[in-house]
Each structure stands twice: as C-alpha cells, then as structure tokens.
C-alpha cells in the first residue's frame, strides 16, 4: 500500500493563516506556496521512508511531486522532485508501468534514505493526487480567494499531463547500454592513493544524462566503489555512488586543510564506514583495525582525495556533456589541489609556527580636548625627517608606527625615531579591525604584519588584486564568484559564492557581513558565510555603511536618480528610502543621529530612525565636498566638516547652518579633513591646523604644499613632501584662553 501524507499542523499556525487571508490582487495570482513549512510523509507498506527528513515547503514539495509524476506519465524516463531541506530529492525512474523510487539527502553526509523501491505507478499517482486535493481543500477552507490561483488549479487537478499511448513502451529502457564506457579515476600524492571505480552500468547513466533533463540527479546515482590505499597500512574500500561520496570527500579535504592551517591538533575524516583520525601535529593517520599510525601529511591526503574527485568529474563530463554538478565538483577539487601545492612549496607557513596574533583591542577611549579653554596657538617642532624617496600617497598612524603607502609598496616607520621597521611590495593594504596590525597583499601573497616591529605573523598564498576589507574575525576579499574570509590566524574561515558575483562594497554589522554589488545587497552570517538574505537595489551602490543598527546604502543611477536607503540587519527589510539630487560622492558619514551624504555642493542629512530630512544645506565654496565627522556626547559639540578644493573647509551645525568657513588656497583637489581632539588638519598650501569648533587657525605646517599628511591622537602631524621625504612634527606647546 502506498500513502502520501502531507502534514496538517500548518493549518493551525496563526502566521501562515494570517498570511494566506491577507493575500489579494496580484499576490493571489503569484502565490506559489513558498514559506509554509510542514512534514511530507511517504508511506510504503506502512513504513514512512521520509521519516527524519524534517519540515519542507509543503505546498511546493507536493506541487513538484505531482509534476514529476505527470512527466513520467507523459513518457519521460525519469523525473525528480525536492521534498525536503538539505535538499532532499525524490528521484523517480520509469520501469514500464512501475516506478523505481530513490530518496536522497544531499546534506552532508550525502546518503540514500531509501533506494531500489519498485512501486506500482498508478497507485503512486493516485496517492499523490489524493494528497494534493486534500492540500487544496485545506487552502480553500482558509482563504477562498485562492480559488483562482494557478497553484490551486494544479493541486486540484494534478497529473493532467496526457498519457502517451503505450508510454511504457514508447521509449527504450533508460539507461541504454553503451559498451566500453566504464572507467577508473585516480588521485595520488606521496604515500597515499585514492581510486574510483565506475562500472559499465554507472557509465551508461552518465552517457544518457541528456535524456533525463527532468532528473539531473538520476544520472549521478549509479553504483560504484572507492578505495583508499596508504603505504604501510591496510586498504580501505567504500561502496557508494561515486558522485555522492566524492562530494563529501572534497568538502572534508577542504576542512582538513583549513584545520591544519589554523593550527588545530587533530581532524577526523570519514571514508565510508571508517573514520580517519588525523594527528595534525605529527602528520599521522590512525584508523580502527590498523596495527598502528601511518605517516601521512594532511596536504598529501587532501591532494589524493581532490585528485580522484577531479579525475572522476573530468571523465564523467566527457560522457555526460554539460553538467553543473560535475563542473562544481571538478572546480572545487582543483582549488584544493592548487592550494595544497602552495602548502607543499613552503610559501604558505602554518599559523602554529607564526607569531601569535594579539588579543582584540578595546575601543580606544575618546580623547579629551587639548585644553579646557579656547586654543589660540599651537607650536610644533620637527622630531625627525626621513631621506627622500618614493613619495607616499597616504599616511596613517598605527599604534606606535607611522604607515606610508605609495603606488607600489607600503612601509612602516617608528613614530618615535623615524627608523624604517618594515617595507614590502604592495598591491593593497588595510589595517586590522581588532588591532594595529596590517594586512598586506603583495605578489600573490597575503601577509599579516606587526608594523611596530616588522614581524610577519603569517603569510598565505592568495592570487588576487582585489581590495581588502578587515572584519572582526580577520579579513574579507572578493573572488571571481563571491568572497573569501581569512581568519586572524591565517586559515580560510569560509568561502561564499554570491548570486551577484564579486561584491564592490563591504560593511560589518553584529554577526553579519553586508555586501553590495551589481544592484544587489546581500547579508552573510559572519562565522560561516551562510546566505541570510538578499535584496534588489534600484541602482549601482556607491557607498555602504552600518549606522545605528541599520545598513545604509547610497545608490547612484543615471540622470541624477540617486537614493539613500536603510535596511534592517535582520531580516533585511527596507525601512526607508530618500532621494538625493545630483551625483553624490561615494561616502556616507554619521552625525546628529543622521546619515550624511554630499552631492552637487550640498550636504544632505536624513534621520536614521525614519529617513526624514533633517537638513539640506549648500557649502560656501565651489566644487565637490568631502566630509569628515567626529561624534560627541553633546550634539552641539559634534563636528561635521566639509572640505573643498584648495583646502577650503566649513563646519556644518546640527540644524544645517554654516558655523564657520575657510576659503581655499591653491588648486589641490578636495581631501577630507583629519579630526583629533577637536583639532582639524586641512590640506591648504601649506597644511593648517584649526580649532575644529570655531575655525580659528592655530598653526601652519611647513612652508609649501605637501603630497599627503595626517593628524595623530596626540596632535602630532606627519607630512610627506614632493621629494618623498617624510617628517613628523610634535606639539611643543600651546596657548589657550581659559575663562573662570
């Protein structure tokens, strides 16, 4: 007896019932049953073969099952339906008037939940039709308005596909015999070899994949065997469909390599019924039944497994033609082989032997103002000066070091003496989110370095010229298909493929990563890279920030169609949107509990709470404005500075009024002011230090224009001249007016 029993508890869920009753207009016609979860039971002779699968989108699963049976009735040799999470796939193959059923879970470890069940086709179709009609009646009892929806029409009249005359004999038995197609795939490295045996019958399935377009998994479920042979130890064997087994082994090989890189002591890898206990400190493997441990480096085992998977996928693709599942398996195995080659070369050092990463730093205390009174003059003295060289394009203080970045390299100078502590060729670099270390990308390597001592904590191969985005647990970098996250210890935390391809912007929120690119916003779980939600953007993103618990995106389209949007971190709901005139600058600042943007000489402030306009004001100088801000406990003391060409600068008050302004000197492009201790460094010719609250000029730095400059927390100023010479000027004394 065959019974299909959809769960009925969903009918008592007030959330589902309310959602169904609120459907109206176009939502009724587009309703496809997604989001309603319950179990789907499939009983054969009183045994529920789907027990343990868990909840699925019950309406979608029932609809897919009916469609699959309809395709079989119409003469297709095989069909497939997703009936559970993981996903869990139900694969149906025509055997005359009967149906051969297999239930496969693709969640790791991939396995058969049921296989080789030969069922009466008409009885199976009758059971599915009865279950579908019962679901349709339940839907109508909750929301009669759904009577005209396409989903309800399919459920109330399933299996209406016309039965082909003599359908049982219309097509030859699948798969058709194709003699001489069996093959063996091998992967080997040092003292280990992995072999995959694909018999004739399995190869016939691969060769006939094009004939079962409705069931792509059916061609990959043929029986086969795997063998693992380690020098000096007894061989291991595994009878399983090679695709399912290799899919899990490639995932395990990647985990093995990551565990070794992260400095873990051990790792357990499952090969069929055997557990391989890998001692990562001694490069040994133990298996129950072996006389003793076998010497086997982790990367050699990973290469053997990945090599067998790549060889199998390559030969299977030659038989099956185009197959996304096999291509993904081949590409994943190839990435492991390339990475392990780097491991064996010695260019990638294991993190256990590298210097320890310091603990996460605490948030630095807010620096007090330089004086309790009104500062009226600052006196600077040159502490040191370096020799001329390659002119720096950026300067920044990193703990006790001054970091200078030029077009082709980065170097760190001791802030006390000016002595060079570290230098490296550089494509891009970034400061770590949890300390004063630097991440440096150079010549296909990613390095974490302590700039104060020049000590390299770790280095790893990473062939990419993409930017670096520091996050709390390490650093994120775009790849060709998504992103890769490298942990603080140098291991791969996760790799994620994104639906929109490589992102252009990244911001970190509480436990999630928010990425933007190609008119799409995506949120990933920060620990494991799992996709949480994705949203369509109205135009290409120009800037992304997390402010006040909201993800703020600045999108700029053609013809001045720019918008500022706010999304909740969970579950990515659009909270508000505000139009911004003109072509905005690619930046978002925070001040006065608002998101601040600059466009066409105007400063726009939108309240974070609801997006309403707090103010929109013009700047008192020509050209585009660059913004800098410093939040204070008192809103009236909060600093929002707009800088223009030639070092022009103006302070914007909390109501959008111009508190003070300073005209530009020269033709240098606009550069954001540097703010520290209520002082501001503006890039005039030469640079000037101002009282950021009142706009009063306090000191001139040098006698001529400089290439770049920065202001430290102790009010020190570092500058780089056109000759490439870098000098540090320390505050010697200041004059303040204190009223009592």
| Sign for the pseudo-dihedral over CA of 43, 48, 49, 52 | positive
Distances in Å between the alpha carbon of 375 and those of 106, 695, 731?
Answer: 68, 11, 13
pLDDT digits (tens, 9 = 90+) for 500-513: 888 999 999 888 99
Q: Give the separation between CA 568 and CA 648, rounded to whole angstroms.
A: 36
DSSP state, residue 311: H
Reported confidence tier of residue 558, pLDDT bands at 50, 70, 90: low
- For the purposes of burial, counting CB atoms within 10 Å of the CB of 199, is it exposed (0-12), middle (13-18) or buried (19 or more)? middle
Residue 574: CB atoms within 10 A of its CB come to 13
Q: Give the separation between CA 57 and CA 706, rounded to whole angstroms.
A: 63
- SS3 breakdown of the chain: % helix, strand, coil, rounded to 5? 20, 40, 40
Does the pLDDT at position 168 exceed 50?
no
Q: For the whole model, what pTM was predicted?
A: 0.58
- For the purposes of burial, counting CB atoms within 10 Å of the CB of 116, is it exposed (0-12), middle (13-18) or buried (19 or more)? exposed
| Sign for the pseudo-dihedral over CA of 257, 261, 264, 266 | positive
Place of tokens 């998101």: 595
pLDDT digits (tens, 9 = 90+) for 517-529: 888 999 999 888 8
Look at residue 600 in the predicted model and tell me its pLDDT. Answer: 82
The backbone torsions φ and ψ at residue 636, rounded to the nearest 5 degrees and listed phi first, read -70, -20
Reported confidence tier of residue 355, pLDDT bands at 50, 70, 90: very low
Q: Which residues of 257-282 are buried (b: 16+ CB within 10 A; e: fewer)?
A: bbbbbbbbeebebebbebebebebee
Does the pLDDT at position 592 exceed 70?
yes
Look at residue 632 in the predicted model and tell me its pLDDT. Answer: 67
Does the pLDDT at position 166 exceed 60?
no
Which of 137-151, 426-440, 458-472, 711-725 shows the lowest per-residue confidence on average (mean pLDDT)?
A: 458-472
Name the residue with higher pLDDT: 503 or 361: 503
Does the pLDDT at position 633 exceed 60?
no
Closest C-alpha among 287, 269, 276, 307 to residue 189: 307
**63 three-class SS:** helix
Q: Evaluate whether 735 touches 377 at the Cβ level (below 8 Å).
A: yes
Distances in Å between the alpha carbon of 64 and those of 140, 151, 379, 467, 568?
Answer: 20, 11, 78, 43, 33
Which of 63-72, 87-96, 352-361 shows the lowest per-residue confidence on average (mean pLDDT)?
A: 352-361
Residues 6+ apart with CB under 8 A from 600: 581, 582, 583, 624
Does the pLDDT at position 226 exceed 90?
yes
Look at residue 634 in the predicted model and tell me its pLDDT. Answer: 56
Look at residue 167 in the predicted model and tell me its pLDDT. Answer: 47
Reported confidence tier of residue 352, pLDDT bands at 50, 70, 90: very low
Look at residue 34 in the predicted model and tell me its pLDDT. Answer: 82
The backbone torsions φ and ψ at residue 676, rounded to the nearest 5 degrees and listed phi first, read -160, 130
The structure tokens listed for 241 are 């469909």
Does the pLDDT at position 347 exceed 70?
no
Residues 6+ apart with CB under 8 A from 588: 543, 544, 545, 547, 552, 554, 564, 595, 596, 597
Reported confidence tier of residue 357, pLDDT bands at 50, 70, 90: low
Residue 61: CB atoms within 10 A of its CB come to 25
The structure tokens listed for 345 are 């070369």
Q: Which residues of 162-171 are buried (b: 16+ CB within 10 A; e: fewer)?
A: eeeeebeeee
* DSSP structure string for 320-336: H-S-HHHHHHHHHHHHH
Look at residue 739 in the predicted model and tell me its pLDDT. Answer: 58
pLDDT digits (tens, 9 = 90+) for 236-254: 999 999 999 999 999 999 9
Look at residue 262 in the predicted model and tell me its pLDDT. Answer: 67
Look at residue 333 in the predicted model and tell me its pLDDT. Answer: 94
Pairing of strands 420-425, 428-431: unpaired
Does the pLDDT at position 534 exceed 80?
yes
Beta strands in 231-348 (DSSP E): 236-239, 266-271, 274-279, 284-286, 294-295
The arithmetic mean of pLDDT across residues 68-80, rounded, is 89
Closest C-alpha among 257, 195, 262 to residue 225: 195
Q: Evaluate whether 93 touches 71 at the Cβ level (below 8 Å).
A: no
Which of 186-200, 224-238, 252-266 shows the lowest per-residue confidence on average (mean pLDDT)?
A: 252-266
Backbone φ/ψ region at 328: left (φ over 0), alpha (ψ -120 to 50), beta: alpha
What's the mean per-residue pLDDT of the chain?
Answer: 86
Peptide bond into 686 cis (omega under 30): yes
DSSP state, residue 110: P
Reported confidence tier of residue 313, pLDDT bands at 50, 70, 90: very high
DSSP state, residue 18: H
pLDDT digits (tens, 9 = 90+) for 637-647: 789 999 999 88
Does the pLDDT at position 77 exceed 80?
yes
Q: Give the separation between CA 515 and CA 524, rounded to whole angstroms.
A: 8
The backbone torsions φ and ψ at residue 388, rounded to the nearest 5 degrees and listed phi first, read -60, 150
Place of tokens 């990475």: 339
Element (DSSP H or E) covering residue 150: helix 150-156
Q: Evaluate whether 285 touches 230 at the Cβ level (below 8 Å).
A: yes
The arithmetic mean of pLDDT across residues 261-278, rounded, is 87
């Amino acid at each position: 007896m065959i019974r299909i029993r959809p769960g009925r508890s969903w009918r008592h869920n007030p959330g589902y019932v309310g959602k169904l009753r609120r459907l109206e207009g176009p939502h009724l016609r587009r309703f496809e049953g997604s989001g309603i979860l319950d179990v789907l039971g499939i009983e054969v002779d009183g045994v529920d073969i789907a027990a343990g699968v868990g909840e699925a989108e019950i309406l979608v699963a029932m609809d897919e099952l009916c469609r699959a049976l309809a395709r079989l009735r119409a003469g297709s040799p095989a069909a497939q339906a997703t009936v559970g999470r993981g996903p869990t796939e139900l694969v149906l193959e025509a055997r005359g008037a009967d149906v051969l059923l297999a239930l496969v879970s693709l969640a790791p470890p991939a396995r058969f939940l049921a296989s080789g069940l030969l069922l009466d086709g008409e009885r199976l179709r009758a059971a599915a039709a009865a279950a579908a009609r019962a679901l349709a009646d339940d839907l109508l009892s909750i929301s009669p308005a759904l009577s005209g929806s396409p989903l309800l029409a399919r459920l109330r009249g399933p299996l209406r596909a016309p039965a082909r005359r003599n359908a049982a004999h219309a097509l030859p038995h699948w798969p058709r015999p194709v003699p001489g197609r069996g093959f063996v795939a091998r992967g080997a490295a040092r003292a280990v070899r992995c072999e995959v045996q694909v018999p004739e019958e399995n190869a016939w399935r691969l060769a006939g994949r094009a004939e079962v377009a409705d069931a792509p998994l059916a061609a990959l479920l043929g029986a086969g065997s795997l063998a693992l042979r380690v020098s000096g130890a007894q061989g291991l064997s595994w009878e399983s469909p090679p695709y399912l087994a290799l899919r899990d082994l490639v995932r395990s090989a990647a985990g093995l390599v990551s565990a070794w890189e992260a400095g873990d002591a051990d790792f357990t890898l499952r090969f069929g019924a055997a557990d391989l206990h890998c001692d990562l400190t001694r490069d040994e493997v133990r298996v129950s039944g072996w006389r003793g441990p076998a010497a086997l480096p982790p990367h050699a085992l990973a290469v053997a497994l990945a090599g067998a998977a790549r060889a199998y996928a390559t030969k299977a693709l030659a038989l099956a033609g185009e197959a996304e599942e096999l291509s993904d398996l081949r590409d994943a195995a190839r990435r492991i082989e390339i990475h392990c080659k780097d491991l064996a070369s010695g260019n990638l050092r294991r993190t256990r032997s590298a210097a320890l990463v310091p603990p996460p730093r605490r948030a630095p205390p807010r620096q007090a103002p330089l004086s309790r009174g009104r500062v009226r003059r600052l006196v600077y003295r040159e502490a040191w000066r370096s020799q001329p060289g390659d002119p720096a394009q950026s300067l920044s203080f990193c703990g006790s070091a001054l970091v200078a970045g030029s077009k082709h390299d980065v170097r760190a100078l001791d802030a006390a003496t000016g002595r060079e502590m570290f230098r490296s060729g550089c494509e891009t670099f970034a400061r770590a989110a949890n300390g004063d270390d630097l991440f440096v990308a150079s010549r296909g390597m990613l390095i974490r370095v302590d700039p104060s001592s020049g000590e390299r904590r770790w280095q790893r191969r990473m062939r990419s010229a993409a930017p670096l985005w520091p996050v709390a647990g390490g650093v994120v970098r775009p790849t060709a298909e998504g992103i890769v996250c490298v942990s603080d210890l140098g291991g791969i935390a996760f790799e994620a493929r994104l639906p929109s391809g490589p992102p252009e912007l990244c911001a970190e929120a509480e436990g999630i990563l928010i990425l933007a690119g190609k008119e799409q916003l995506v949120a990933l779980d920060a620990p494991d890279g799992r996709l949480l939600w994705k949203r369509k953007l109205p135009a290409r993103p120009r800037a992304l920030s997390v402010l006040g618990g909201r993800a703020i995106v600045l999108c700029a389209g053609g013809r001045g169609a720019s918008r500022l949007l706010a999304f909740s971190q969970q579950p990515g709901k659009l909270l508000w949107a505000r139009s911004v005139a003109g072509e905005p600058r690619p930046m978002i600042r925070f001040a006065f509990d608002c998101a601040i943007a600059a466009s066409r000489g105007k400063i726009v402030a939108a309240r974070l709470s609801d997006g309403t306009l707090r103010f929109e004001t013009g700047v008192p100088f020509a050209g585009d404005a660059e913004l800098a801000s410093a939040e204070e406990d008192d809103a009236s003391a909060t600093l929002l500075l707009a800088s223009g060409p030639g070092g022009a600068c103006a302070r914007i008050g909390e109501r959008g009024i111009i508190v003070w302004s300073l005209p530009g000197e020269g033709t240098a492009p606009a550069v954001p002011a540097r703010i520290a201790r209520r002082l501001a460094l503006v890039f005039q010719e030469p640079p000037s230090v101002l009282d950021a609250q009142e706009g009063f000029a306090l000191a001139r730095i040098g006698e001529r224009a400089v290439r770049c400059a920065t202001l430290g927390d102790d009010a020190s100023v570092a500058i780089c001249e056109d000759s490439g010479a870098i000098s540090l000027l320390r505050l010697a004394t200041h004059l303040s007016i204190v009223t009592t």
